[in-house]
Amino acid sequence: MKAQKMFLVLFLFVGFSSIAQEGFHITSATKQGWAGGQAQSGYGTNYVFDFITTCNSSNLKINKVWIDDRFYSVDYYLSNKQEVVDSFSENDTLSFRVSYRAYWKGYSLDDYDLDYNVADPPIDFNGEALIEYTFLNKNYFYVIKELEELPYLAYP
């Protein structure tokens, strides 16, 4: 009986500490491929991550996101808005968006978007995206197992 109580206490402690550790909950993570209507318009993939904060911006900062071998810096947006926000409160609904873009330049394919860098992720992970964040002045990683794929956009 004593062992069962200890297991329950340990289970609850580990369960609640892992929830409290993050500072946010991802509500949606999507990817959407696109192509421009002209060759020089290029093609790419837009990634959108929606989340609800569980603390304010003085305790949480999402630093980078890795997708494949590319990492992107992160700016926060109020959900469904285009304005970047510098601070937020507990229970705010925010999103961050990153985009991979490539376009034809002459006869060779060059990367167009300078908002990302190519580098191996800092840890091995099993998923489609890795989020690096700082919570209560400590760095953590959050793995997105799967990104929901939205319908392909073919611009005219």
**pLDDT band at residue 15, thresholds of 50, 70 and 90?**
very low
Q: Residue 37: its pLDDT value, please?
A: 84
With a cut of 80, say whether residue 18 has pLDDT above it.
no
- Residue 153, token pair as written in the block: 């956009």
Would you call 5 helix, strand, or coil by DSSP?
helix
| pLDDT value at residue 153 | 93
pLDDT digits (tens, 9 = 90+) for 112-145: 544 567 788 999 999 999 999 999 999 999 999 9
In the chain, the amino acid numbered 102 is A
Query: Higher pLDDT residue, 80 or 102?
Result: 102
What are the two backbone dihedrals, phi and then psi, of residue 13, each rounded to the nearest 5 degrees?
A: -65, -50
Question: What is the C-alpha separation between 107 and 54, in angstroms, rounded?
Answer: 49
Q: What is the pLDDT of residues 19-33, one digit of tens each?
A: 345 899 999 999 999
DSSP result, 136-148: TTEEEEEEE--PE
Question: Any idea where the domains of the chain sit in the sequence?
Answer: 23-154
Residues 79 and 94 sit within 8 Å (Cβ to Cβ): yes
Kindly report the backbone phi and psi dihedral angles of residue 14, in degrees, each rounded to the nearest multiple of 5, phi listed first. -65, -45
Distances (CA, A) of 64 to 2, 60, 80, 125: 44, 13, 21, 15
Give the pLDDT band (50/70/90) at residue 17: very low
For tokens 């550790």, name the residue: 21
Confidence of residue 109 (pLDDT cuts 50, 70, 90): low
How big is the CA angle at 66 (ends 106 and 72), to the nearest 5 degrees? 60
